[in-house]
Structure 1
């Protein structure tokens, strides 16, 4: 060792020295784990011994992470140890976030409010294309929206028996459809929009239409009101989707002091009004936001907002061209941490 070396340089030199001497042993991995555990809390030189043991694994092609002068390089997947984690740097707490459940995904689901469709992204656990679409349809039709203002037009008894995919068409087999809702055409479009949106989260990437079965059989007219004899297609965006809505912050979200407000809308002039109120109802931020496109296209915008900690409500809305009144309000409650 050279005078004036830093602890990091001494560790690296010790590592190189031991790596040159090691031989592959069949019990290398258990011994690495044992030595590493024994080295905890014994100070710098005990740590050198543990790092030297890691050199055995490096020589054997087992360890998947190499740290060199602050650079972090990940080696090919074939060299990784399944089920192990990189040790934290000295003096830092280990960070081991819990892995997401297999098949966990946020899926788009459509709901209704004031005679229009609104979309939320909701968590679900679903493996496979059919399972993802079925999960999204269940979330939508059973009205599991986070925003209490969003509703499903389908009855509480509705079930999804299954989903099948035939080329670019998705067939949904429903049960318990009950009596006709207040707006049967919009209810069917709630289903169609959800299926086509969920299809983009599968290997399909795109679906052209939806076929509806009830208890395994085709139905010429659902509730006697909507023609479901053939393939159903998505209706006109400007006539069915809400003119404006808040996507982020999500209902009930907790955000940092500087956060993004994500808005969308189908608006002729391509602008949306944004307003944020505090817990007492006072307006703390208000502005007009230009969207990326005007109607009939869907426009979007992301706005950076900074607020102190507290509870807030974000609102997006339009002003009536006739009398200037506030219309089509969509709002989410959230908190700034």
Structure 2
């Protein structure tokens, strides 16, 4: 009897010391996410692409019809780093007002991951049955960010030109051709460290890329604040051609402006544009459901109104364009394959920025 009492006392004492065992939340399922989404109050999207009103309206209608919802997104284009800053500030005071952030770079996502404001999510396990293409979207993300973001588009860079000012046959064909003095002051490029050209460093090394940047700057390219501004400079006739993205050129053409696009023959530059759901999102279930759908079935809906190129989809126009181009020209893919590789060019990008500002002589 005494032994039984001692054993009982020991059990009670242990329970008191440990306290009640909290129940672990059940793993998310598609059904649980959908039911929770029905109880949420909206969807706040700060995403620059897609951004045309027609595309947003079509996506909203198709999403609601697909899942029996009546979501009315608060959708506005925004700069991902600026949105990150807002989310970080709100999180410090226990608040959150943004559900989806994008388009962000790998470094934008990594910045939020380091603060535990974006965490890995089992996209395939939750949505794989209803949205089979979600696995392809998950696999397209850089390995260090897998599960933490999904790709909305690939920024594929090449040459865009104004056909009223120059014909295709006269265009430079390679990055080396851009150094020809005859193009002095006639080409536009992003003023942010000559983006996307630093990606050449993955193939030729940082020092060779720095030397190339110095030569290019001596050719006095027209520096624009962002890639969309490069497309505008071309279409209004400020310059005959420039380095811009496939999707920016496509949207310019959709607006009826004079512009065409081709890839360079030596390098194909590709950067993934990500969207992600912060941990302090007020409508987290709706956000995850929408983002999973957008990056799978929703891409086709958006593409009817504006270009969202994804080379991870082998049937996409951009994947076919790049495949045929590489087969013909043997162009090399100048695109990062890891977050570590991107970080390895940070000093190079800073150096090019100083060259642009005049802090370092060319």
Which of the two has higher C-alpha Rg?
A: 1
Bucket of the pairwise TM-score, normalised by the shorter protein = under 0.3
Bigger relative CO (Cα 8 Å, ≥ 6 apart): 2
TM-score normalised to the size of structure 2? 0.21
Higher strand share goes to which structure?
1
Higher helix share goes to which structure?
2
TM-score normalised to the size of structure 1? 0.23
